[in-house]
Every structure is written in C-alpha cells, then in structure tokens.
Chain A
Amino acid sequence: KNQVEQSPQSLIILEGKNCTLQCNYTVSPFSNLRWYKQDTGRGPVSLTIMTFSENTKSNGRYTATLDADTKQSSLHITASQLSDSASYICVVSEGSGTYKYIFGTGTRLKVLA
C-alpha cells in the first residue's frame, strides 16, 4: 500500500527559531511531491510543488528538499513566526494519474512567543 509518513507528529518551537519537518514516502511510480500548510479550520494551502527532477524549491521562509533516490523530503522553516503555527502536510502523486495524491497525516507545528 502506498504510504506517506511524516515526522514528527507535532513540534513546538520558539518564535525566531528554525525547524525541519520530514516526509518519507513509498509511492511508486512518483510524479511530484507537494507541501501544504493547513491552518486550523481552514483548507490546505500549497507551499511548494517539486517534480522528481527537482532537489529544492523555496517559497519565502519555506524551503523544501527532495531526494527521489531515498524517497525523502524535508520542509525547512527559517526564522519562524507565530503565524507559522499550523499543520504541514506532505503529499505525493501516485504517478499513474497525476490527479491522484496520497496525503500524509501532517506535522502540527506550534510557534510560541
């Protein structure tokens, strides 16, 4: 069964600090990997999209990396802000039809003042 595993499940950091969230996947074949931010009570918002040929993609203070050989991705958040408190979801396409996505259960990040 294709899976997307994320770690840690939850994380608490102080404002201004950096953090890295991990995503391991077993989806094959693989087309693209996305990171979403989901605020409480809201729908997910796309942060980055990477194809198998891309190693890194940045969006402001968010930088995603991808190692398609080891099937690992990370999302690095620099100089965290209180508004970064949210769930971060890793999503991998099944490849056979690029509209089919496997969602991880997310990492819940809490940034404290």
Chain B
Amino acid sequence: GAGVSQSPSNKVTEKGKDVELRCDPISGHTALYWYRQSLGQGLEFLIYFQGNSAPDKSGLPSDRFSAERTGGSVSTLTIQRTQQEDSAVYLCASSSIAGGPGGTQYFGPGTRLLVL
C-alpha cells in the first residue's frame, strides 16, 4: 500500500512569510509524528498526535510553530513569520496502534524548507 507522503517536496520562501507543510500518514495509522532534521544534526522531535488524545506539543521550538491533524488523518505543520534558522528538512512519520507508541515508525520523504 501507499506509504507516508509529504508535500511539498521542496519549499523556498522569504523570511517573514508563513509556510504550511502537509503530511498524509499511512491509512489506519493513529499515531503521527513531526520531526525537524537540520544539516549535521539528529532528528528533533516537534509534535506527536495519537488518535483523539491531546497532542504532545512539547517539541515545538516557538509559538511560530503549530500543527493540526484533521479527522485523525492528514496533518499540517504551519510555521509563521519564518526565520532563516527554520531552514531544515521536516519529516513526518506514522505508526499503527498495533505497534503502539513503541512500534515501527514509517517516515515520509520529508519537505526541504529553505528560508532566504
């Protein structure tokens, strides 16, 4: 079946603009994660959604970052008033409830964001 998809693949924006990144998880996966991968750095946890529970937003670096998950499926990560330090690859992953929170994560290809 289809894996995790993300769009756009690449995004170039000007400093101060807002951007919206989209993630389509694997159908039926209740857990969804957003990570940020900066050059030479390990993946940084941003936010976690599990079913209808309140998301864990503890990894969001500032109030310019927000995320939603509509209908328990598609998720969008929004970055307002982008800064150059926001430039990174934003990765989305999903996992099934069968695997639980410790189960196998399936990652999308990422969105490469460049803020000029």
In Å, the complex CA distance between A49 and B101 comes to 13
CB-based contact A98/B43 at 8 Å: no
Please give the distance in Å from A25's CB to the nearest CB on chain B.
Answer: 12
Asked if B42 and A4 sit within 8 Å, CB to CB, the answer is: yes
- Using CB atoms and an 8 Å cutoff, list the residues of chain B in contact with chain A: 4, 31, 33, 35, 40-45, 48, 50, 56, 91, 93, 100-102, 104-110
Size range of the interface on A?
A: 20 to 34
- Top 4 nearest A-B pairs (CB, nearest first) are A43-B107, A103-B42, A99-B101, A98-B102
Please list 27 pairs of residues, one from A and one from B, whose beta carbons are closer than 8 Å in the complex, sorted by A's number.
A4-B42, A42-B109, A42-B110, A43-B4, A43-B91, A43-B107, A43-B108, A43-B109, A44-B43, A44-B91, A45-B107, A46-B104, A89-B43, A91-B43, A97-B101, A98-B100, A98-B101, A99-B48, A99-B50, A99-B56, A99-B101, A100-B48, A101-B45, A103-B42, A104-B42, A105-B40, A106-B42
Chain B minimum-CB-distance residue to A93? B102
Given contacts A93-B102, A97-B56, A97-B101, contact A103 B43 (CB under 8 A): yes
The residues of B that contact A29 with a CB separation of less than 8 Å are none
A-B contact count (CB 8 A): 55
- Minimum Cβ distance to chain A for residue B89 (Å): 9
- Among A4, A32, A42, A45, the residue within 8 A (CB) of B102 is A32
Binding site for B on A (CB under 8 A): 4, 31-32, 41-46, 49, 89, 91, 93, 97-106
Contact B33 A41 (CB under 8 A): no
Select which of B33, B41, B42, B43 is within 8 A of A99 by beta carbon: B33
Q: Which residues of B contact A91 (CB under 8 A)?
A: 43
Query: Which B residue's beta carbon lies closest to that of A94?
Result: B45
Given contacts A97-B56, A99-B33, contact A105 B42 (CB under 8 A): yes
Determine how close the nearest CB of chain B comes to the CB of A58; give it in whole angstroms: 16
